[in-house]
Structure 1
Amino acid sequence: MANTYTDENGKFARGNPGKPRGARNTATKAVEGLLQGEAESLTRKAIDLALEGDTVALRLCLERIAPRRKDTAVQFELPPMECAQDAAEAAQAVLQAVSDGDLTPIEASTVMSLIEQYRRTLEVTEFEMRIQALEMGR
Structure 2
Amino acid sequence: MSDAKRASTPENSAKKQAGRFQPGQSGNPAGKPRGARHKAVQAMDLLGRNEGEEILLSVIQAAKKGDMRAAEIILRRIWPETKGRPVQIDLPAIADAGGVLEAMAAITQAAATGEITTDEAASLAALVEGQRRAIETHDLEARIAALETRK
Bin the TM-score by the shorter chain.
0.7 to 0.9
Q: Is the contact made by 1:97 and 1:103 (CA closer than 8 Å) also made in structure 2?
A: yes
Unaligned segments of structure 1, at least 5 residues:
1-8
Q: Higher Cα Rg: structure 1 or 2?
A: 2
The residue identity in structure 1 corresponding to 2:20 is: G
User: Which has a greater percent of helix?
Assistant: 2
Partner of 1:34: 47
The Cα of 1:14 is off from its aligned counterpart by 6.9
Instruction: Establish whether residue 128 from structure 1 lines up as the match of residue 141 from structure 2.
Output: yes
Q: Cα deviation per residue 1:79-111 (whole Å; 9 max; x = unaligned)?
A: 111112211111111111112211122221222
The Cα of 1:22 is off from its aligned counterpart by 2.5
Name the SS for the 1:60 alignment partner.
Answer: helix
> Normalising by the residue count of structure 1, what TM-score does the alignment of the two structures yield?
0.77
The Cα of 1:47 is off from its aligned counterpart by 1.3
The residue identity in structure 2 corresponding to 1:101 is: G
Query: What is the count of residue pairs matched by the alignment?
Result: 130
**Aligned counterparts of 2:53 and 2:84: Cα–Cα separation in 1:** 31
Q: Is the contact made by 1:84 and 1:120 (CA closer than 8 Å) also made in structure 2?
A: no
Give the direction of change, closer, same or farther, for the CA distance of 1:134–1:35 in structure 2 (3 Å limit): closer
Percentage of matched positions with identical amino acids: 36
> Which moves more between the two structures, 76-85 or 30-39?
30-39
Unaligned segments of structure 2, at least 5 residues:
1-18
CA RMSD of aligned residues (A): 2.5
Q: Cα deviation per residue 1:54-87 (whole Å; 9 max; x = unaligned)?
A: 1121111001001112333322111111112211
Partner of 2:99: 86
> Normalising by the residue count of structure 2, what TM-score does the alignment of the two structures yield?
0.71
